[in-house]
Amino acid sequence: MINELFKKRRSIRKYDPSKIVSDDLIKQLLEAGMCAPSACNTRPWEFIVIKNDELIHKITEIHPYTQMIKTSQCAIIVVGLPNNQVNLPGANMWPQDCAAATENILLQATEFNLGSCWCGIYPTDRVAKFQSLLDLPSHKIPFNVIAIGYTAEKFGSRGFYEESKVKWLK
């Protein structure tokens, strides 16, 4: 039987703005992200933690699907570092590596009874806008925005297994 944590994880878009996510919890979420596997152990990521209301507002102007961060108390930007993988067998695997780090953050948030929501940035035209907003050089690629906060929504566990999406080769 799979762990209930996987069934409990949801994309949360309604948060309780009165509850503050502590910096200690955020550091633990980031540590979970940094525990993710990466090609050739290059760890091609950095993280930007945003709690500044003005910056949160600017993010929601650039990315219309991030409105939930206005009440989430915290946003984490996962930044990809493609240059970490140049001339390695794992070259250009940074998007998969950043996705693995993101999923670790989402699952750890669920374990802490926090809500989270992954909003993609890469590979859209929003990459350049986020680079400008966050003063990032061109070799640092904003991959996604993760909303983190105490949820104002309650959901039960659910399952997603669909036999029609599986091909067995024995």
DSSP state letter for 6: H
- What is residue 91's predicted lDDT score, i.e. its pLDDT? 86
Report which of 119, 13, 120 is spatially closest to residue 71, judged by C-alpha positions.
13
pLDDT value for 29: 98
Q: Please list, residue by residue across 84-109, b when 16 or more beta carbons sit within 10 angstroms of its beta carbon and e when fewer do.
A: bbeeeebeebbeebbbbbbebbbbbb
**Contact criterion met (CB below 8 Å) for 136 and 128:** no
Sort residue 73 into left (φ over 0), alpha (ψ -120 to 50) or beta: left
pLDDT given for residue 89 in this prediction: 85
For residue 157, the model assigns a pLDDT of: 80
Angstrom distance (rounded) from CA 71 to CA 101: 23
Cα–Cα distance, 140 to 131 (Å, whole number): 8
pLDDT of residue 80: 98
Residue 103 to residue 95: CA distance in whole angstroms = 12
Each of the 170 residues of the chain gets a pLDDT tens digit; together they read 678 999 999 999 999 999 999 999 999 999 999 999 999 999 999 999 999 999 999 999 999 999 999 999 899 999 999 999 988 887 899 999 999 999 999 999 999 999 999 999 999 999 999 999 999 999 999 999 999 999 998 888 888 889 999 999 99
Domains of the chain, earliest start first:
16-153 (3.40.109.10)
CA distances from 1 to 4, 6, 102, 159 (A): 9, 11, 24, 11
The pLDDT assigned to 160 comes to 85
Q: What is the pLDDT of residue 149?
A: 98
Sequential DSSP letters for 97-132: HHHHHHHHHHHHHHHTT-EEEEEE-TTSTHHHHHHH
Residue type, 58: K
The pLDDT assigned to 106 comes to: 98
